[in-house]
Amino acid sequence: MVTAFRPVTLNEALAIRRTHGTVPLAGGTDLMAAAPSCSPGRGESSPSIMFIGHLTELRQIRMEQGEWRLGAAVTLADILDHARLPAPLRQAVADMASPAIRNVATAGGNICNASPCGDTLPFLYAQAARVLLCDSGNRRELPIERFIIGPGKTALRPDELLTEIVFPAREFVVHRHHKVGARRANTLAKLSFLGLADMDAAGRLSDIRLTFGSVAPTVIRAPQLEQRLCGLPLTEMKHHIDEISAAYDGLIQPIDDQRSTREYRKQVCLNLLRWFLEELIA
C-alpha cells in the first residue's frame, strides 16, 4: 500500500517532506512511468508520495527585476500558453510529448528527473538558469548545472522541494532549436541542439550560447568555447568554424542505446552546430 499526502500549502508540504521523507509527485508523468521499478521489494517499507502539482505557490509565472521566475509546478501547457516567455523555451516545450502529457507534466519535474534528454534543459543551461530549493526552514539557490549531477541524479536534499526556476528575461536576436527524434511528436530526443546569438551594431558577435542535449550524462555547454567566438566580426567567423567544431567533437560523448547510435548523434550535433554558425555569417 502507498501512503499519499495532499498538502494544502507549500509550508505544509515542506513539513511533510521533513517528517515523512515522501516522494514529491507533480504531474507524475515520469514517476508513474517508472512505477513498476519503484515498487518496494521484500521487507522494505512502502513508499509514500506527496501530491504537489496543485500547490498555488508553485504554479506562478512572474517577471521580477529582469528575471523570469517559474514555479516548479508550472505545467508545460502553462509555458506554451504564456506568450511572453522566451520563444526558444516555448518551442522546446511545443516539441515535448503530447497535449495530454503537457497538461500535467511540470517544469520542475523535467528538471528533477534529470534525464539527459529532458527537453527544457538545453534552454535552461543556455540561459544560466538557477533553481530555488526550500526546506521547512531554509532556502538556497543553485545554478542548474550544479543541481543536475548526472542521469537521474540531483543535489536535492531529502527534506527539500524545488520551488522555483529563475532565468534572465533576456531575448536573443537569433535562436535555433532542433530536437531530433524518431518522429515529430511524442518522442524522446536522440539529440537536441540550441543556439542563441546576438550581434552588435558593428557586425560583431556580442553573445553566443550553444547547448547540446542527449549526448552526454548532462547537457553540454562550454562557456570557454563560446567566449572564443564572442567579439569576432561575423565576416571572420568562417575561419573559426573548423576549430570550434573540433573542440565540440571532443566534448560530445553520446552513447549507443535503443533510440540511436553514438556516431549518428555526434555527427548530427556537429552538423547542426556548423549549420548554425554558417547561418550567422550568411
Q: How many CA atoms lie within 13 A of 67 on its CB side?
A: 14
Residue that has been written with the C-alpha cell 554558425 in this structure: 277
Specify the residue, 87 or 182, whose C-beta has the smaller distance to ligand FAD. 182
Specify the residue, 112 or 280, whose C-beta has the smaller distance to ligand FAD. 112
Specify the residue, 162 or 237, whose C-beta has the smaller distance to ligand FAD. 162
Distance CA 201, CA 192 (A): 30
Q: Quick one: which segment of 61-69, 108-116, 214-222, 234-242 binds ligand FAD (CB under 6 A)?
A: 108-116
Q: Please, which residues have CB within 8 angstroms of residue 207's CB and are 6 or more apart in sequence?
A: 172, 196, 197, 198, 230
Specify the residue, 148 or 277, whose C-beta has the smaller distance to ligand FAD. 148
Q: Quick one: which segment of 79-87, 109-117, 240-248, 250-258 binds ligand FAD (CB under 6 A)?
A: 109-117
- What single-letter amino acid sits at 6? R
Give me the least distance between CB of 49 and ligand FAD, in Å please.
8
Give me the least distance between CB of 106 and ligand FAD, in Å please.
3
Q: Please, which residues have CB within 8 angstroms of residue 86's CB and are 6 or more apart in sequence?
A: 68, 123, 127, 169, 170, 171, 175
Site string for ligand FAD, 64-93 (x = CB under 6 A): --------x---------------------
Binding of residue 161 to ligand FAD (CB under 6 A): yes
Q: Among residues 14, 16, 27, 131, which is the contact residue for ligand FAD, using CB under 6 A? A: 27
Pairing of strands 153-154, 61-64: unpaired
Q: Quick one: which segment of 114-122, 228-236, 238-246, 267-275 binds ligand FAD (CB under 6 A)?
A: 114-122
Binding of residue 148 to ligand FAD (CB under 6 A): no
Q: Quick one: which segment of 29-37, 140-148, 169-177, 226-234 binds ligand FAD (CB under 6 A)?
A: 29-37
Binding of residue 217 to ligand FAD (CB under 6 A): no
Distance CA 68, CA 88 (A): 14
Sign of CA dihedral 235, 239, 242, 248: negative
Pairing of strands 130-134, 161-168: antiparallel
117-146: contacts with ligand FAD (CB under 6 A): 117-119
Q: In the structure, how many helices (H) and strands (E) does the chain have?
A: 11, 14
Tell me how many residues contact ligand FAD (CB under 6 A): 30
Distance CA 147, CA 111 (A): 9
Q: Among residues 16, 74, 96, 219, which is the contact residue for ligand FAD, using CB under 6 A? A: 96
What's the helix, strand, coil split of the chain in %, to 5? 35, 25, 40
State the residues that interact with ligand FAD by CB under 6 A. 23-31, 33, 52, 72, 96-97, 101, 105-106, 108-110, 112-113, 117-119, 156, 161-162, 186, 188
